[in-house]
Structure formats: C-alpha cells, structure tokens
A and B are shown apart, each in its own frame.
Chain A
C-alpha cells in the first residue's frame, strides 16, 4: 500500500495538469491551427479544450472505479501478456513525449539564441537535472511543477505589448470556415492540451482522489483560457499569410517587447522557459520510469538513467527541423488516438467487465 506521507493534496493536481499541458507547444501552436481554420482558429481552441475536458472526466471515471493506476488496470482487464504489451505502448509514448518536448525546446534555443550550441553537453547537464528531480520522488516533482507554474507566470504580462499593433477586426467574419476545417484545426490544437495522461500513473498518489477531478478540470480551463488569449491576440497581430511563416509566433511577440532596461526580451523569455518545460519533461520521464519499474520489477533509478541516456542519444540523433517536425507530427497523431479513442474504449471495457464480474459473482 502507498505510504500516506508520499501522497499529495488534491489541489496540487491543478499544478500538475496545468504544467504538463502548457509546455513548449505554446511557443508556436498558432501557425498550425490558423493554417486550417484562419480567423476562426479560436473556435478550434475552445472545441479542443472542451473535448479534453470530457477526456479528463473519462480518465477520472475510469480511475475512480478501478482505484489503481493504468498498469494495474491493464493487467486486470487484459491479463499479463496483452496487458504488459499495452503497458509497453504507453511507456514508450511517455518516454518519446518527454524527448519530443525536450528536443523542441533545444530547437528553439538553437534557432533563437545559440545556433552552435553543443547539444550533447547541454543534454547531459539537463539530464542530470531531470535525474535529480525524478529520483527525488513524486513530491519533489510536484514541488517543481508548482514552481514551474508560479515563477514563469509573469510572462503573461508580455501579452500587453503586442496589443498596440493588434487589429481585432481580423476576427471577423466569424465562422467563415467549414466544419471540416475547424475540425482539422481542433485536431491540430489537441497536441497542446495533451500530456495529462501522466495522471493515469500518479492517480494512486493523490490523497482524496475523488476531489482531484475538480482541480484537473480547473487546470484544463485555465490552459484553455491562456491558449484562447494567445490565439485571439495572434489573429489580430499577424495577417494570415504572415503567421504561416512564423514557426514560433509567441516568440515573435516578444521581439516587439521594448522595455528600457532590456532591448531584446526573447532572451529572457527563452531562458525562463527552461523552468517551464523542466517539470513537463520530468513528469513524462517519471511516468515512463514508474511504469517500467512496476512492469519489470526493477529499481526505478536504474531505469531513469537508461531513459535519460535514450533521451540524450535521441536528441542528438534528431538533427534538423524536418526530422524534428515529422517526429512531433507522429507523436501528436499517436497521442490523439491514445487520448480520444483508446481512453474512452478502455472506460467502456472496464465498465462492461465490472458488470460481468458482478454478475458472475452474484451467480
């Protein structure tokens, strides 16, 4: 049984979910959704947010009824072999997500600050930081998530700078795109909301589990609002063809920021972003580590070292924009299926199985 001292208060789930949702994607999600939905992209942001609200509800219903983490649910429903295989899929997904987030951040650093940065040494230093957090246990991780929300939150103030050049007339005419285009944008947007699947692993570590749903929903709504604000300002700030050229539209906001004591704000923003994405990556690596250690009954620290070595090797192997982009596209595609198809199916299965079991029990 889990030690009470290792558990966290349910309101901290708010920070865990919020942190893992708003990651490196914020820097450039606008281009993808505006490409298909144009000035109606903000509708897609709301649609995707509501969709994920439902999925969070699905997850909690599933977890509340089973009262164990995903690994346990899998083995209980599908048995050792098939369940183990499904567990492997999720573990690989979390590990690769961690790598995707990390590599995306390094790409930003390479493109904006130091093109000649040595990815290997940077990765080793970063991996040590991740190892420190992950090996410290889940409470340390939660602490880092909390700080990861609080410290960079001042960045939201920078949204006032582009307002001077924003023409909100660009939002008109509303609903100028077909359902298909908006649905496409909603799918592209969903990548930005993903990540809270780690909830499936840390659920047993929450104290009053039934209360946590509320906090997770609240976090989802807050991410929705931040994405919505950024999208609306982006639509007004850029013309449509212009934004399709900017890979990191949010970063380009910062190059309009002028304050007396600093000429170029991007450098501060990108540096702050480390604190933003560190908990994000740590949570993914933690989930993957935890899953593997349960699956193969190995000591978690050894596995996290192995995973970090994979992280370093992969981030060196993914060299240029194109491979990184393809990798991220695959990840978002797989993620979309895992969240919107797999989780609801799993919920149905678990419901049916529990009904059947009840019946056999009664008989």
Chain B
C-alpha cells in the first residue's frame, strides 16, 4: 500500500510532464538575435533590423542581418521569421539601437515592448545612432559578434570612460520619475565602425540634445558618483598645459529653500592625479595654481551646461528628484514652471593627490 502511494504518482508525473505543451528551444534549432536596430519611416512605421551571429567551423563569426518594416515591434519579428530557416529568439539581445530620427518622435512607445516582454533583461543597453541605425548592424567589421561588440564597447566606456551608468532599467526609471529625464549613449558609425560620441538627452521620451565633446566629462561627474579614469586638461597659460585624471568625484546638493526661486548649490568634490604637465617643475605652489585654475574651468563648464539644460527644459541630472525628496506634498507642475529660471551655483573642489612618478 505504502509503495503504491509513492510509485504510482511518480510514474504518472513522469509521463504527464511530457504533455505540458512546453515548446522546446534547442540551441542549434533557433536563431539568437544579439542586437536590434530601429529606423524611422513615417509616423506609424519603422524598419527594424536584427543581427544574428553564425559561428562558423573555422572560428569565423558571420553576422547575418534581417530587416522588416512594420508599426509594431513584435510584428516585425513575425516578418523576420518569414525570411529565416529557424525562429528568431530575443532572449539574448544585448543592445538595442534607435536612429536619431526615431528618437525625436518619442521613444516611450518603443520601449514599452522591452519592459513588457519578460524574455528581455533589464540590463540591456539602449543607444541612439547618429544617422541610420541600420548601418551600424549591416556593415561587417572585425571577426566578432556584433551585439557583444557593441555591448562591450558601451560597458567599458561606462566603467572607465565618458558614459554615465545606463541601461534599460535606468532609462525607464528616469522616464517614469517625476523630477528626472532620461539619457542614452550616442553612437556614430564611421566607415561602419561604431564610435561612442556622447550622450543623448531626452525630454521624457523625446530626443532633444546631444552633448558636445567638452561637456561629456562634466556631465558624467554631475550625474553620478563616479570613480573613473576619464581625464580632463586645461590650458594654464602660454604653452602651459596640465592634464589630470579623476580618481573619484562626488556630487552633493545643497538646497536651502526648495521649491522657491532661491539658488540651488551643487558641490562637486574631485580627487585627481596629475597626469601630464608641460611646465618645468611641479611643486606645492604650482599644484595649488593648477587646482585653482581647473576648479574655475570646471565650474564654468558645469554652470554653462546646466544653463543649457534649463534652456532645453530637460533634467537629466535629476535636480527635480533632489528637490522632490526635500519637499512635502511636492507638485510636479509647479516644479516644471520653476525649473527653467532657478539660478544654479556650482562649487568645485579639486584636490590633486599625486603628481605621478616624477616631481
């Protein structure tokens, strides 16, 4: 009796588990897309390109692309499947690219499918392509899988370059937050080679501005507590240049009277190491001089950038969030009215800790 109650259910379970209608997905019977791009056609339609790496026996990687046009992202996949021998799966997508043209027409409706589809991870990188997004995927370069290449390129620029932390989750976070606007990295194809040129700023879901080269470093410092190797250089005088790299930077806000027109003070504390100096000797006095000079330059750049952001009416730094968490019963509409006219004051404190291996 006892044995019957154990053996019988196990046998039934064993046989029944085969009838659960679960579609098996065997690795060599599916196509795994690693990157997808979207290009603008008209208000309702877009072209989508998916890239699928084929690993050849001679260790070569063939990046095959499929293109289709539709008005819904999942329809596109259906149309792509009509072109392939094996079904395309989206579980391994690492990078999703949008053209600037498309980004100008509200990305919100494009990102909905990414959040809704549980097979797409939250750490997927989104990026804007200056020009046609398709171009980055269709042109062959190197012997690598394109999705992995692009995601590595973005990743190392986050870790030690100009890009602040970014991924699908952070984009959707900023898009939904009341006092914050999202940003994404911008990629520019040059002879088919993708180059990361800066950061695209959004007003909710609409692309409005691309940061210039000299704004990138200060932008990253203002957005997050970073400890990176990105450097910056300044002209100190005639033929006198100095360059430092940033070990750690901390940004803190001092808002004495939130939700009024009184100034918001941003404190930026940077610890850096001298990397290059064209003068003769570096002593204490000289270092003080370099610090003072650089502080001034950074302060000016930061304040200029913030004024620009106010003019564009975008808030990628999340100043609104800083004010919101300091106010009771915060009113989003009132803040939106206030934001463009609030005076900002940036206090930069640069501390050069080391001057390298020589004096």
Contacts and interface: CB of A to CB of B under 8 A. Distances in A.
Interface in A155-184: 165, 167, 169-170, 172-173, 176
Nearest to B94: A263
Given A125-B16, A135-B5, A242-B173, A172 B326 contact: yes
Contacts of A172: 325-326
A224 to B, nearest CB: 25
Given A122-B20, A239-B178, A256 B122 contact: yes
Nearest to A131: B9
Interface in A236-273: 238-242, 245, 251-252, 255-256, 258, 263-264, 266
Contacts of A167: 321
Interface stretch (A6-14, A72-80, A111-119, A350-358): A111-119
B118 A121 contact: no
A298 B273 CA distance: 82
B325 A112 contact: no
A266 B169 CA distance: 16
B185 to A, nearest CB: 17
Name, among B13, B23, B115, B165, the residue most crowded by chain A CB atoms within 10 Å (CB to CB).
B13
Given A128-B12, A132-B5, A169-B325, A239 B123 contact: no
Contacts of B9: 128-129, 131-132
A132 B6 contact: yes
Interface string A51-92: 000000000000000000000000000000000000000000
B172 interface: yes
A173 B328 contact: yes
B228 to A, nearest CB: 15
B20 A121 contact: yes
Contacts of B118: 111-112, 251, 255, 266
Contact of B22 (A114, A128, A135, A169): A114
A124 interface: yes
B176 interface: yes
Nearest to A241: B176
A169 B315 CA distance: 17
In the complex, which range does the number of interface residues on chain B fall in?
Answer: 35 or more
Interface string A132-147: 1001000000000000
A173 B91 contact: no
Contact of A117 (B20, B92, B115): B20
A57 B161 CA distance: 58
B327 interface: yes
Contacts of A117: 20-22
A238 B21 contact: no
A281 to B, nearest CB: 16
Contact of A170 (B5, B20, B325): B325
A242 B177 contact: yes
B325 A242 contact: no
A124 B176 contact: no
Contacts of A238: 173, 176
Contacts of B28: none
A9 to B, nearest CB: 25
15 contacts: A116-B22, A121-B20, A128-B12, A132-B6, A165-B170, A167-B321, A170-B321, A173-B326, A239-B177, A240-B178, A241-B176, A242-B177, A255-B123, A258-B123, A263-B92
Interface of A: 111-112, 114, 116-118, 121-122, 124-125, 128-129, 131-132, 135, 165, 167, 169-170, 172-173, 176, 238-242, 245, 251-252, 255-256, 258, 263-264, 266
